[in-house]
């Protein structure tokens, strides 16, 4: 639950943290520690622009991770996101090159992801096939489509796209890109849907126990298909944002991105088995990934592969933490 009333807190000692909040708080603590380290080591780190840059560089990752949060909350997984991101960027770039108006291109590009997600959701639900396999197939399909469209990268020169890429929105001394605003909007909308709509609550219910959810009369089929569609839509938005960011469509971009996304969601405290987690946690998870990258960039001597090593270690630690919290609850 995102809202905890004061009345309930009253008879609970203020320092006692409900177990379900432990993973998110752990991520928050980790993020603060890492940021503190950065600030103490590098003078320029304390500049607000550093934080904004993390959002600018990872906005599309954040949006895709929000979609993944829905899927993982139901206990599923979506491996197709990286490929769908790339496919969306490719389709946009190639349609723009062929001269279609940007508005139409946007519409088409935004429809592809949810359509594929809807199809995968249907296969997963009606044929009762593991999400892992179905979305793996989706991943290969979308990646194949990328190379089918073009084996090499397609540059984007469209005016609308370049505006979106270059427009800077000033906040005090610093600035953010339009993509950051899109990401923030997606995050807020997703958090609202999960906390305050029946769809959102059903997502948690299915993740808790699909059998019980069915017996309680909840629309399991509709909800399951919806989460993959939402994930597809988020990937499509992410793909558009990536094409804003790179001003091109490349067939081999965002390879392995699904793994970063899953890592961000899990580090953000969402249980891989489903039923517990928050969009806010996912934001923190993405920020942790971003801060690690930034720290390594600031250091300058470390190879960028260190990012992966650190993420690997963190992921391991967080899965253990979830397990321990789970055991203590029993």
Contacts of 182 (CB under 8 A, 6+ apart): 59, 63, 237, 241
12/168 with CB nearer other proteins: 12
CA distances from 102 to 95, 211, 269 (A): 9, 45, 38
11/128 with CB nearer other proteins: 11
Q: How far apart are CA 178 and CA 190, in angstroms?
A: 18
DSSP 16-47: PPPGGGHHHHHHHHHHHHHHHHHHHH-GGGGS
96/279 with CB nearer other proteins: 279
146/203 with CB nearer other proteins: 203
Query: Minimum Å distance from CB 69 to other proteins?
Result: 15
Assign 3-class secondary structure to 85-143.
Answer: HHHHHHHHHHHHHCCCCHHHHHHHHHHHHHHHHHHHHHHHHHCCCCHHHHHHHHHHHHH
Angle between the 279-299 and 257-267 helix axes, to the nearest 10 degrees? 110
Angle between the 220-246 and 178-196 helix axes, to the nearest 10 degrees? 170
174/209 with CB nearer other proteins: 209
Question: Which residues are near other proteins by CB under 8 A?
Answer: 1, 3-5, 8, 11-12, 18-20, 195-198, 201-202, 204-205, 207-209, 211-213, 215-218, 275-276, 329
Query: Minimum Å distance from CB 207 to other proteins?
Result: 7
Query: Minimum Å distance from CB 326 to other proteins?
Result: 10
What b-and-e string marks burial along 256-272, b requiring 16 or more CB atoms within 10 Å of the CB?
Answer: ebbebbbbbbbbbbbbe
180/220 with CB nearer other proteins: 220
Q: Taking CA 114 as the corner, what is the angle to CA 108 and CA 120, rounded to the nearest 5 degrees?
A: 135
Query: Minimum Å distance from CB 215 to other proteins?
Result: 5
Query: Minimum Å distance from CB 299 to other proteins?
Result: 40
Query: Minimum Å distance from CB 204 to other proteins?
Result: 6
181/214 with CB nearer other proteins: 214
91/194 with CB nearer other proteins: 194
Q: How far apart are CA 326 and CA 65, in angstroms?
A: 23
Instruction: Report phi then psi at 158, rounded to 5.
Output: -55, 140
Query: Minimum Å distance from CB 16 to other proteins?
Result: 12
Query: Minimum Å distance from CB 276 to other proteins?
Result: 5
């Amino acid at each position: 639950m995102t809202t905890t009333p004061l009345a309930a807190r009253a008879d609970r000692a203020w320092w006692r943290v409900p177990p379900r909040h432990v993973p998110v708080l752990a991520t928050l603590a980790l993020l603060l520690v890492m940021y503190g380290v950065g600030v103490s080591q590098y003078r320029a780190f304390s500049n607000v622009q550093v934080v904004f840059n993390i959002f600018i560089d990872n906005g599309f990752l954040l949006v895709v991770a929000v979609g993944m949060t829905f899927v993982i909350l139901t206990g599923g997984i979506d491996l197709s996101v990286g490929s769908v991101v790339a496919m969306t960027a490719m389709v946009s770039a190639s349609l723009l090159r062929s001269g279609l108006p940007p508005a139409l291109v946007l519409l088409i590009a935004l429809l592809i992801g949810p359509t594929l997600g809807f199809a995968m959701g249907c296969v997963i639900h009606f044929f009762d096939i593991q999400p892992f396999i179905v979305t793996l197939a989706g991943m290969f399909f979308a990646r194949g489509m990328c190379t089918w469209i073009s084996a090499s990268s397609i540059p984007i020169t469209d005016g609308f796209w370049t505006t979106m890429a270059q427009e800077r929105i000033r906040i005090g001394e610093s600035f953010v890109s339009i993509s950051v605003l899109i990401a923030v909007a997606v995050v807020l909308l997703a958090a609202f849907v999960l906390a305050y709509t029946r769809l959102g609550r059903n997502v948690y219910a299915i993740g808790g126990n699909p059998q019980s959810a069915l017996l309680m009369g909840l629309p399991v089929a509709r909800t399951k298909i919806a989460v993959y569609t939402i994930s597809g839509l988020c990937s499509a938005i992410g793909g558009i944002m990536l094409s804003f960011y790179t001003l091109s469509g490349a067939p081999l971009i965002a390879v392995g991105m699904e793994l970063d996304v899953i890592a961000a969601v899990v580090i953000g405290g969402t249980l891989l088995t489903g039923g517990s987690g928050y969009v806010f946690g996912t934001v923190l998870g993405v920020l942790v990934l971003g801060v690690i990258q930034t720290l390594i960039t600031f250091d300058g001597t470390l190879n960028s592969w260190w990012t992966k090593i650190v993420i690997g270690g963190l992921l391991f630690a967080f899965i253990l933490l979830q397990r321990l919290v789970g055991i203590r609850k029993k």
